Structure 1
Amino acid sequence: MAKAKVFIYEKPFDGFPKEDDLKLVEEDLKPLKNGEFLTEAVFLSVDPYMRGYAPFLKTGTVFLGGQIALIVESKNPNFPAGKYCFGQYGWRSHTISNGIPDPNNILHEYVLPDFKGLSPSLGLGILGMPGNTAYFGLLEICHPKPGETVVISGAGGAVGNHVGQIAKLKGCKVIGIAGSDEKGSWLTNEMNFDHFINYKTQNVRKTLKEIAPKGVDCYFDNVGGEISSTIVNQMSLFGRISVCGAISAYNDKHPKASALQAAMAIKQLKMEGFIVTRWADKWFEGIDQNLQWIQEGKIKYRETVTEGFENMFRAFTDMLKGVNYGKAIVRAKSIVK
């Protein structure tokens, strides 16, 4: 009988996650029924949204998350053995599924499209949810125009660095905000950002006024908190704000930030939050466009890989601390060619 290793959400997070909040257990898997297939996790994702969604999870359940899995056995013609698929299976090594969409999942499972020789791990990053988050969240909400100034907080993460690169393709001036000079060098030297602000060592308000004296036209918000309040108060007239996340507050029991309403009203700003599954009907449009940009050399990507399924928690907390460059993933097993 096949077994699965599974991380169970044992205790609710109280502030920053602690290792004993999750429990690694083994689970027996039943033989496949008609219409079902068995997958083995190859790459697993760790993302900021996991911390944001954690308060809504029931304890005793599998901790949430997406993975790229190899279909090792199948009685479902839509999910043939030997193919890679994306599935919102959570933190588990093996999964039995029937391929029927689960309304409780953030994203439905699907067989990966042809990545033209690129690693299937990109299905968790630039050719998956984070890539589409950047693509749709910037273009559908902010509508950046040539010559405009775009600011991205959390710019060193999987979504943020991609947003900046797309904004550059659209002819914008791009400013990234992150927490280390090393990330700043990476963003400006490799990812083509125009400017970088280290929020830990620089005065964001003062520096932003110096490098964007005419104000900010588009703000892609990944962090929330006081940084976002500062940026919103330096927006241009009719500026647009795309709210993707609020990672600065996920571990804070009593988050605080300055009021935004005065700036919103005086500058007639548009601020809109989103969840990327809003564009589920155009999901593969985003993947196809991002793949084309990669092939044309217009977009770069980077992955921070942690080896070993048992190290999921360390990869998760490292990501929350901002250790990763680009997409943070865990490699559970070697790729099958």
Structure 2
Amino acid sequence: MNETNLRILLRARPEGAATAEHFQAVEEAPPSPRPGEALLRHRFLSLDPYMRGRMSGAKSYAAPVAVGDVMEGQSVAQVAEDPTGRFKPGDWVLGGKGWQRFSAQPVSGLVKLDPDAAPVTTALGVLGMPGTTAWVGVTEIAVPKPGETFVVSAASGAVGSVAGQIAKRMGARVVGVAGGFEKCRFVRDELGFDECVDHRAADFPDLLAAACPRGIDVYFENVGGAVQKAVWPLLNQFGRVAFCGMVAEYQNAEPAPGPNLAQVVRKSLRLRGFIVSQHPAAFTEWRSTGGRWLREGALRYREDVVKGLDRAPEAFLGMLRGENFGKRIVEIT
């Protein structure tokens, strides 16, 4: 094989905000598959907020990326070579690993994709980890009841957009929070949310209160920061908060001050964080349910595709700043 393997490495751990200087691009020979492995040619790379945590050396639920190692990430790939014979060259699979053109992966961990059933990129977004995260967060953690007010932050993003649609199907009144007029228009008109509030507005707390005249029964947290601060006083008695992510705070050098937790007692609130990898059965369940809704036209999604693996660092940093519109994916050209 004459092609080289472009790899994006973690050059150094950020202290505070990550920048392009924390990444390094190198060209190497593609790996050779070991027994039980297939050589994969990555086609589409998923960029997700959790990757910022992997750049840190702080103790977390998963091991950090080592300095000098390839950045962590999941890819949709095509099989370039499979000595095991399980896959044919050209087969589409989910299971490529790392910010790189090629990887050698155990065939036991690869999921074959049918490009005729759904666009292969959906395995990274609406039908993949983000969609499954929304499914778990809404149906197992938050569990909105018909008529309740359900608020979700980052509502135009990969997780929030699906979470709101699931809550709507469960009978809730769904209010999204997004950044900017176009994102809010998409959330209302395309996704079918009842309301969407622009968190960039100067009077955002007042606008959110007006959009939730009966208060907030369930909050699906993706952002933290100022959005969480505006939501907190609006939570109703016996309100629930599903903590999925805090993307507005991932670049902070020091933890942001939290809300007044006395309300947890006064309002009998239920707060629960969750990690989707702790719910392995949900991935198959969501692929089946979400795939059916997608074929029926009942599940909407949007992808934000950036071309070129060399642009992955800037695309990732832009996503942390909220510059993406939908699920951010890198097309590895």
Same fold (TM over 0.5): yes
Q: Number of matched residues?
A: 325
Letter in 2 for 1:198: D
Q: Does 1:305 align with 2:313?
A: no
- Name the structure 2 match of 1:37: 38
Matched residue SS, 1:136: helix
User: Cα distance, 1:196 vs. partner?
Assistant: 1.4
User: Cα distance, 1:230 vs. partner?
Assistant: 2.7
Matched residue SS, 2:133: helix
Distance across 1 between alignment mates of 2:32 and 2:196: 53
Pairing of 1:1-337 with structure 2 (within 5 A): 3-55=4-56, 56-87=64-95, 89-99=97-107, 109-114=109-114, 116-333=116-333
Distance across 2 between alignment mates of 1:50 and 1:27: 23
Please, which runs of 5 or more residues in structure 1 have no aligned partner?
Answer: 101-108
**1:166-208: CA deviation from partner (whole Å, max 9, x where unpaired):** 1111111111112211111111111111111111114333222
- 1:226–1:257 contact (8 Å) kept in structure 2: no
Distance across 1 between alignment mates of 2:258 and 2:119: 43
Matched residue SS, 1:200: coil
Distance across 2 between alignment mates of 1:132 and 1:163: 9
User: Cα distance, 1:317 vs. partner?
Assistant: 1.7
- 2:32–2:39 contact (8 Å) kept in structure 1: no
- 1:225–1:255 contact (8 Å) kept in structure 2: no
Matched residue SS, 1:295: helix
Q: Percent identity?
A: 34
- 2:113–2:120 contact (8 Å) kept in structure 1: no
- 2:132–2:282 contact (8 Å) kept in structure 1: no
- 1:217–1:236 contact (8 Å) kept in structure 2: yes
Distance across 1 between alignment mates of 2:260 and 2:231: 10
Matched residue SS, 1:164: helix
Distance across 1 between alignment mates of 2:198 and 2:53: 24
Distance across 1 between alignment mates of 2:305 and 2:19: 21
User: Cα distance, 1:261 vs. partner?
Assistant: 1.2
- 2:319–2:328 contact (8 Å) kept in structure 1: yes
Seen in structure 2, the aligned counterparts of structure 1 residues 254 and 144 have a Cα distance that, compared at 3 Å, is same
Seen in structure 2, the aligned counterparts of structure 1 residues 87 and 260 have a Cα distance that, compared at 3 Å, is farther
Seen in structure 2, the aligned counterparts of structure 1 residues 52 and 34 have a Cα distance that, compared at 3 Å, is closer
Distance across 2 between alignment mates of 1:255 and 1:285: 35
**1:37-93: CA deviation from partner (whole Å, max 9, x where unpaired):** 100110001111111222033211111111101111002344443322222511011
* Deviates further, 27-36 or 85-94: 27-36
Letter in 2 for 1:72: A
- 1:41–1:67 contact (8 Å) kept in structure 2: yes
- 2:42–2:96 contact (8 Å) kept in structure 1: no
Distance across 2 between alignment mates of 1:3 and 1:25: 10
Matched residue SS, 1:63: coil
- 2:248–2:320 contact (8 Å) kept in structure 1: no
Letter in 2 for 1:46: L
Matched residue SS, 1:131: helix
Please, which runs of 5 or more residues in structure 2 have no aligned partner?
Answer: 57-63
Distance across 2 between alignment mates of 1:282 and 1:8: 31
RMSD of the TM alignment (CA)?
1.8
Q: TM-score, normalised by structure 2?
A: 0.92
Matched residue SS, 2:241: strand
Seen in structure 2, the aligned counterparts of structure 1 residues 15 and 88 have a Cα distance that, compared at 3 Å, is farther
- Name the structure 1 match of 2:61: none
Matched residue SS, 1:175: strand
Distance across 2 between alignment mates of 1:116 and 1:269: 45
- Name the structure 2 match of 1:106: none
User: Cα distance, 1:325 vs. partner?
Assistant: 1.6
- 1:241–1:270 contact (8 Å) kept in structure 2: yes
Letter in 1 for 2:106: N
- 1:52–1:247 contact (8 Å) kept in structure 2: no
